[in-house]
Amino acid sequence: MAVEVLSTADGREKTALSRRHAAAWLAARDRGEPLPLGEAAPPPRPARPALPELLSPRDMPRRGPGTLAGRLALIHAVAHIELNAVDLHWDVIARFTDTRMPLGFYDDWVRAADDESRHFNLMCDCLEAMGSHYGALPAHAGMWRAAEDTAGDLLARLAVVPMVLEARGLDVTPGMIAIFEKTGETQVTEALSVIYAEEVSHVAYGSKWFNFLCGRADSDPKDTFHALVRRYFPSPLKPPFNEEKRADAGLPPDFYWPLSDQTPRSTGS
Ligand SMILES: [Fe+2]
Ligand SMILES: [Fe+2]
């Protein structure tokens, strides 16, 4: 199922398939008849549509949110992140089956993949309602980099993807919601509010299974997290941090503050 989603290029088709497979997995779990865990060889990179054109971040046009074009670029960027997130969650399901994990691990990432599929569709709906569509603008080329870098290490994958990248989403989403509140584009504020509320659980799944694996190996989660993030995500984490939502997701301040180049005092938060 995971490989089938990863191998589907079109965004709407990928998310429709993702939602069908998630529903089938979760329904089987509810019946008490879990689907068998298979083994699979996920592709090194997921299939992607011919458009959007993928550009390196320094070649991406920069536009402020004060113009419609700038706001469309922002929604387009979120759609791209969500599509990438669909693939990331199915990839963690398929790639690490040699590490024995409880079924709840798969439930969590199946649920997260289903959430991201809805998030992508919500962002596409906003783009289309505003006269654009996913693929109309260029997108960030480096999105799969974190997945490739951590393809051989489940702990590193959990540290970098949900606990660093998705946690960063919790930091920046309130500011994006404020942009669209100001312009009265309510379809976008409503969609981003759904995303904001649901992303907490993805970070929480990450910290839950990271702590589980550290506990199983009798290693210190905080020290392990610092070592893995310094190795696989060398740029410093950027405050301000959403300390409240990070706490909801089981990420304590002593996990992320030491990886930033500032101290809590220097930012006044
Ligand atoms: Fe999402
Ligand atoms: Fe997410």
**Predicted confidence (pLDDT) per residue in 12-42, tens digit:** 999 999 999 999 999 999 999 999 999 999 9
Residues 200 and 245 sit within 8 Å (Cβ to Cβ): yes
Ligand 2 geometric centre to CA of 85 (Å) = 6
Ligand nearest to the CA of 117: 1
220 Cβ contact list (under 8 Å, min separation 6): 214
* Ligand 1 centroid, distance to 265 Cα (angstroms): 31
Residues in the chain: 269
pLDDT on residue 243: 98
E-strand ranges in the chain read 54-55, 139-140
Which pLDDT score is estimated for 63? 85
Question: Which residues are close to ligand 2, an ion, with C-beta < 5 A?
Answer: 85, 166, 199, 202
Q: How far is the CA of 115 from the centre of ligand 2 (A)?
A: 7
CA–centroid distance, residue 177 to ligand 1 (Å): 14
Average pLDDT score over residue span 94-113:
97
* Amino acid 109: pLDDT: 98
Predicted confidence band at 267 (pLDDT cuts at 50, 70, 90)?
low
Structure tokens at 226: 């610092």
Q: What is the pLDDT of residue 228?
A: 98
Question: What domains does the chain contain, in order, with CATH numbers?
Answer: 2-267 (1.20.1260.10)
Instruction: Count other C-beta atoms under 10 Å from residue 141's C-beta.
Output: 15
pLDDT at residue number 263: 82
Amino acid at 109: W
What pTM value is reported for the model? 0.97
Distance 70 CA to ligand 1 centre (A): 21
How far apart are the CA of 28 and the centre of ligand 2, in A?
23
Q: Output the pLDDT for position 68.
A: 96
How would residue 139 be classed by pLDDT, with cut points 50, 70 and 90? very high
Give the model's confidence band at 105: pLDDT under 50 very low, under 70 low, under 90 confident, else very high.
very high
- List, for residues 156-166, the tens digit of each pLDDT value: 999 999 999 99
pLDDT for residue 264: 82
Query: What distance in angstroms lies between residue 116's CA and the mean position of ligand 2's atoms?
Result: 6
Determine the average pLDDT of the residues in 90-96: 98
Rounded distance from Cα 5 to ligand 1 centre (Å) = 16
Q: How far is the CA of 172 from the centre of ligand 1 (A)?
A: 13
Question: What pLDDT, in 10s, does the model give residues 190-244?
Answer: 999 999 999 999 999 999 999 999 999 999 999 999 999 999 998 999 999 999 9
What local confidence, expressed as pLDDT, does residue 52 receive? 97
Calculate how far, in angstroms, residue 249's C-alpha sits from the geometric centre of ligand 2: 12
